Chain A
């Protein structure tokens, strides 16, 4: 295997692993947050407005962990710096 194939294979596999492993933690966390918030609303329906507002903020902050993984996966797939470097090196050797 030449360098290009290795880089492509590693990038694709790593992108898949990144988003797969990286979504486990936020999924568990969001589930726990939602369950706790529902419990809190069931106990204190009067405070539902405040609880819901805080719930959305916390959900989005927990979700940002998964978003970081998504960004890394997108960079690996569509804007891979190593891939660009390998292409450049290959054209340099063949061209020059």
Chain B
């Protein structure tokens, strides 16, 4: 049984002295998702200006971007424009590839551990980049020896293990949706798999949201001014959520 799109080899590129390069469904499906995102964004923003959006495409994209900006602000990121390119891209990519998983014959690229690990590695790199850009190298490194230098190894282990958890969470959720649907298709065909696909749509959207939110929370906890991540995160999150609900009400 195919449990990841990695095992489906679509074609083989002749690679010369380094050996052949087999291109799996993961890579091709990633290209498809990228093409849809780029072309959709290009169509939506053609002839963009300060005027009120007239086309439905542009309105939809602006609503989506505004939603992402609000979420970033609610987590406590301050200026959303700083984090939007990274977190928004992660969200849109995982969202589109999870949702496209219901298309027959299309296996979500996020259902492969390679893609999930690649995305989590991006987060692993982005956290110190944002943290150093915000606080400077010395202040960022000093975070590791809080509260005592004895905790430094555990902080490092925590960074690595949360990256693994981020990758396995995304991969496991998407892959389990595909596997359970495939198993149910052979046990109780036609009705229950459809319900499972519906549940998979919901799970996919939530997982994309969680991936982006966790990336944002990690970045904020590394670039915030306070020392402890946990105690600095909770009040900013509460205050942010409060302010957004206030913005929404009037």
Q: Is B173 an interface residue (CB 8 A)?
A: yes
Measured in the bound complex, the distance between the Cα atoms of B6 and A79 in whole Å is 13
Q: When the two chains form the complex, which single residue of A50, A60, A78 contacts B210, counting CB atoms closer than 8 Å?
A: A60
Residues of chain A with a CB closer than 8 A to B172's CB: 64, 67-68, 70-71
In the complex, per-residue mask of A57-69: 1 if CB is within 8 Å of any chain B CB, else 0: 1001101100110
A85 / chain B contacts, CB cutoff of 8 Å: none
A50-B245, A60-B206 known; A78+B3 contact, CB < 8 A: yes
Which segment of B35-43, B126-134, B163-171 sits at the interface? Answer: B163-171
- Measured CB to CB, the residues of A under 8 A from B are 47, 49-50, 56-57, 60-61, 63-64, 67-68, 70-71, 74, 78-79
Could you name 10 residue pairs across A and B whose Cβ atoms are closer than 8 Å? A57-B209, A57-B213, A60-B169, A60-B210, A61-B210, A63-B173, A64-B165, A64-B168, A67-B169, A78-B1
Cα distance A87–B20 when bound, in Å?
Answer: 26
Determine if B207 is an interface residue (Cβ-Cβ < 8 Å).
yes
Question: Which residues, 195 to 249 on B, are CB-close (under 8 Å) to A?
Answer: 203, 206-207, 209-210, 213, 241, 245
Is B89 among interface residues, defined by CB-CB distance under 8 A?
Answer: no
- Please report the total number of B residues contacting A with Cβ < 8 Å: 19
Query: Bound state CA distance, A11 and B175, in angstroms?
Result: 20
Q: Are A50 and B213 in contact (CB under 8 A)?
A: no
Is B245 within 8 A of A67, CB to CB? Answer: no
Near A by CB (< 8 A), chain B positions 83-121 give none
Cα A64 to Cα B209 with chains together (Å): 14
Chain A residues with Cβ below 8 Å from B135 are none
Closest A-chain residue to B217, C-beta based?
Answer: A57
Complex Cα gap A55–B3 (Å): 29
By a CB distance below 8 angstroms, the chain B residues around A68 are 165, 168, 172
Known: A49-B245, A60-B210; 9 extra A-B contacts, CB below 8 A, are A56-B206, A60-B173, A63-B173, A64-B168, A64-B169, A67-B168, A68-B168, A74-B3, A79-B3
- The minimal Cβ–Cβ distance linking A15 to chain B, given in whole angstroms, is 13
Shortest beta-carbon contacts, A-B, top 7: A67-B172, A64-B169, A71-B172, A50-B241, A60-B210, A60-B206, A70-B176
Bound-complex Cα distance A50 to B213 (A): 14
Q: What are the residues of chain A within 8 A of B206 when measuring CB–CB?
A: 56-57, 60
Q: Mark B166-198, 1 if CB is under 8 A from A, else 0.
A: 001101110110010000000000000000000
Give the residues in chain A near B1, CB-CB below 8 Å: 78
Residues 61-97 (chain B) with a chain A CB within 8 angstroms: none
Residues of B within 8 A of A67 (CB): 168-169, 172-173, 176
Tell me which residues across on chain A come within 8 A of B169, comparing CB atoms: 60-61, 64, 67
A68 to B241, CA, bound (A): 31
